[in-house]
Amino acid sequence: MRHRAISASLVAMALNFLSLAAALPLLGQAPAVAPRPDRQSASGGKMSFEVASIRESSDSVHTMNFRWDDEAPFTPNGGYFSARNSLVNYIEFAYNFPLTDDEENVMLAHQPRWVREDNFVIQARAVDNPTRDQMRLMMQSLLAERFKLALHFESQEETVLAVTLSEPGKTGPALRPHSEGPACDSGIPVAGSSKGVATPFPFKCGFLDLIDLPNQQRRLGARNVSMGKIAHGIAVAEWQGHKVVDETGLSGQYDFKIEWAPAPAGAAPFSEDYPSDSGGPTFQRALNEQLGLKLIKRQAAVQVLIIDHVEKPSEN
């Protein structure tokens, strides 16, 4: 059994689904996807690391000394930042903007290959004990100073997949408010761990776990996450090429688990009837039966990142 946490680096594992236009009924226009909040105003304005070093790395493994997504636990660590990642992933962290495959391709359409492919080790130190959002601001300054990065957001019309409730006001048996389940400090093991026995939601709080099961099925789950985070998990698990947005109207934090049989190569996108050696449900069916959710294709105005200028940094 392979067990891994979902991050921006998992885009390579997503399936290449074609013919989206024929997949789901188009049900009119969706509300525009709101831009990210102004984190510079909320977190104290422009900030910079006190010292920072950058060097190129031939190691393809991506690392960071803390989890960058907002719902993952974060303990201020005295201002130390250490990571090995591509420039794309540093941009995602700095602007808190996880990219779909399509959005990454738009951003990199006219950029050199090294922006996507080369890894850089960045080690930096800040004064005091900054928060994760303040670290983001410092990374924005570092990218501008050392990579000469200039970028902007713009709105574009594109197809999104909206996550909605299958029945108004009702969720499925494997999606429940976090307040109804075990607390985050209750010591429940990570799925796949040898510690203890499995529980209905055997996942760490604050981030998504994607697991390949021995029966050729796949499991996605988390505890204490928002519906927006669950929508992001759906995108990474099955439809990384397309933006998935939350339109359930559900607020608060949730625990969930979904198990399904991945579509084989050549299966029609979003098919309910593709053959499965494991006998498990399609993702669409599992989403409905287990979580009480469904996907609807819509057109929406979404925020995309455009790189205006970038240079490879000199090492120090």
Same domain? For 26 and 77 the reply is no
Last residue of a domain, one of 112, 133, 155: 155
pLDDT of residue 8: 36
Same domain? For 82 and 209 the reply is no
Last residue of a domain, one of 155, 190, 205: 155
CA distance 284 to 104: 25
Q: Give me the residue label for tokens 């050549």.
A: 266
pLDDT of residue 270: 55
Same domain? For 213 and 271 the reply is yes
Number of other CB atoms surrounding residue 167 within 10 Å: 10
Domain boundaries, position 256: 2-7+17-32+157-301
Give me the residues of the chain with pLDDT under 70, please: 1-45, 71, 186-203, 239-241, 265-278
Same domain? For 79 and 195 the reply is no
User: pLDDT for 181-229, tens place per residue?
Assistant: 888 876 655 444 333 334 444 567 887 888 888 888 889 998 889 999 8
Same domain? For 72 and 212 the reply is no
Split into its structural domains, the chain has a count of: 2
Same domain? For 243 and 270 the reply is yes
Same domain? For 185 and 203 the reply is yes
User: pLDDT for 256-278, tens place per residue?
Assistant: 999 998 877 666 555 555 556 66
- For 103, the token pair is 């959005």
In this prediction the pTM is 0.69
Same domain? For 137 and 174 the reply is no
Same domain? For 223 and 81 the reply is no
CA distances from 290 to 53, 172, 174, 187 (A): 47, 5, 5, 25
93 within domain boundaries: yes
- Across the beta sheet with 51-57, the strand order is 51-57, 119-125, 80-86, 63-64
Task: Specify the DSSP element, H or E, that contains 259.
Answer: strand 254-260
Same domain? For 58 and 114 the reply is yes
What are the phi and psi torsion angles at 181 (to 5°)?
Answer: -110, -170
Last residue of a domain, one of 103, 137, 155: 155
315 within domain boundaries: no
312 within domain boundaries: no
193 within domain boundaries: yes
215 within domain boundaries: yes
161 within domain boundaries: yes
Ranges of H-type helices in 129-209: 132-146
pLDDT of residue 265: 67
Same domain? For 172 and 225 the reply is yes
Question: DSSP assignment, residue 312?
Answer: P
Same domain? For 211 and 276 the reply is yes
253 within domain boundaries: yes
- For 69, the token pair is 């997504």
283 within domain boundaries: yes
pLDDT of residue 240: 55
